Amino acid sequence: MAVPRNSLRNFLVLAKNTIQNAINQSQKITFVIGNESADLDSFTSSLIYAYVRSGIPTPHAFTPLYVPVTNIPFSGIQLRPEFLALLPRANIEPRHLITLDDLPDLSDIKSKLRPENTKWILVDHNSLQGALGSIYSDRVGGVIDHHDEENKVPKDTGSEPRIITKSGSCTSLVTEYCRETWDALSDSVMSSGAAHRQGDDLVDDSTMATLWDAQVAQLGLASILIDTTNLQAKEKTTEHDIKAVEYLEAKVMACPQVSAQYDRSKFFAEIDAARKDIGGLRLHDILRKDYKEWTERGMKLGISSVVKPICFLQEKAQREANGRDADESFLPAIREFSEDRDLAIYALMATSTSLEGKFQRELLIWAFTADAVCAAKKFLSDAGGELGLEDWHGSDGRPRGKQSETDWMRIWWQRNVEHSRKRVAPLIREAMS
């Protein structure tokens, strides 16, 4: 049975209640979950997929309602200013979002959410990682992703999609997949002629559905525009992204209440400025804000992606350490962050804009064991040319690095800036395997 058409806000309330019913009454449940970095793309991909598919589920769906999970604790929402800037456009607040805190504690999640009672749809990744992956990886039954194929999702996913292909934003692929269902969902409301009372006014359902569509469409537009730099990044933008933006903007323009306030360039600038507004965060929170982990041959790799340059992070570390030398503050903080996560290799990808206005990337890699050092050196040998790695120099003009059999660290300029973590992570993992 389909979920009655409603706003995203009310849908999320229903989805939260569904989790509690699944826990308390041992009911079946379907989750839609993005990757562990829980960036904007993962967030909106899971919301759009769950919202639209719940409106018209397939006859063979595991459950009629899909629950979108933002793959971080609730506290992590406050580390994402772009979320806080975007949520009001969909008439939702942080408290409406479903995060890891809405699931049972990991110590007894397996007993409260038995694996056989769950199905997991992955968006913006194609391998369920971490503690959830160790319990539920065999219950993954669908995927939409734009990262490298890891062959962890079954080839036959039945009534759920198995889409892994190149695009600037995963949200574009989700929008493309959900388009037919979304249109049918909207058309069914438009043709019903029904109305309901909102306060003292009688409002027809088609007007409300048009508003709800526009609100959700703005979420999708935010991710696609951020991931493709307002469709201007030629090395990232694909036809999937261009068509998705056209489709979502049509939904925005169909609603006068929303379209009157919408301008693509201004909208992009607003969300992008919020995304980069991390000055109020502590260094530790900046490093964990957009962080992912993998394990290869028993070695853990962690990669942080940061929207500021390394010099910004050095200065922040120095201020937090009450004025000590920048290196004496920054590098110990990086080591502590890595040790807390028991990492064999840690990578930091930082970005900045040159004085000429050009986009720049910096890459730090630190290996902490003999095997990890070998892997890091192999990565440099195999991938240094592809990434355009050049020694990074501090304000004193000296390159930064550590060289020993069990402690090896280097910092580079990454001149081939088209390669984000989506490419760098597989290169490091390949060197580790």
Query: H/E element holding 141?
Result: strand 140-145
How far apart CA 431 and CA 433 sit, in angstroms, is 6
Q: What pLDDT shows up at residue 372?
A: 97
Of 105, 78, 79, nearest to 94 by C-alpha is 78
Decide if 384 contacts 374 (C-beta within 8 A).
Answer: no
For residue 81 the two structure tokens come to 């200013």
At residue 248, does pLDDT exceed 80? yes
Please answer whether residues 275 and 81 qualify as being in contact, where contact means their C-beta atoms are separated by less than 8 angstroms: yes
pTM (2 decimals)? 0.90
Retrieve residue 327's tokens: 């290196």
Q: What residue ranges do the domains of the chain occupy?
A: 8-269, 283-432
pLDDT for 58-117, tens place per residue?
889 999 999 999 999 999 999 999 999 999 999 999 999 999 999 999 888 989 999 999
Residue written as token pair 């056209």: 246
Confidence grade of residue 202 (pLDDT, cut at 50, 70, 90): very low
Rounded to an integer, what distance in angstroms lies between the CA atom of residue 179 and that of residue 190? 16
| Nearest CA-CA partner of 350 in 257, 268, 283, 260 | 283
Region 203-208: what's the mean pLDDT? 76
Rounded mean pLDDT of the chain?
A: 92
pLDDT of residue 413: 95
Whether residue 338 contacts residue 365, with contact meaning beta carbons closer than 8 Å, is answered with no
Q: What is the pLDDT of residues 275-295, one digit of tens each?
A: 999 999 999 999 999 999 999
pLDDT at 356: 87
> What mean pLDDT is predicted for residues 387-415?
84
DSSP string, 271-337: HHHHHT--TTS-HHHHHHHTEEEEEETTEEEEEEEESS-HHHHHHHHHHHTTT--HHHHHHHHHHHH
- Give residue 396's pLDDT: 60
The fraction of the chain above a pLDDT of 90, given in percent, is 83
Angle between helices 8-25 and 205-227 (to 10 degrees): 90
More confident residue, 348 or 200: 348
CA neighbor of 101 nearest in space, from 109, 91, 93, 92 = 109
The predicted model gives 205-214 an average pLDDT of 90
Shared fold status for 8-269 and 283-432: no
Average pLDDT for 317-326: 81
The predicted structure's pLDDT at residue 200: 47
pLDDT the model gives residue 189: 67
Structure confidence by residue, pLDDT tens digits, 27-52: 999 999 999 999 999 999 999 999 99
Cα 282 to Cα 114: distance, rounded to the nearest angstrom: 38
Q: Indicate the fold that domain 8-269 takes in CATH.
A: inorganic pyrophosphatase (n-terminal core) (3.90.1640)
CATH class of the domain comprising 283-432: alpha beta
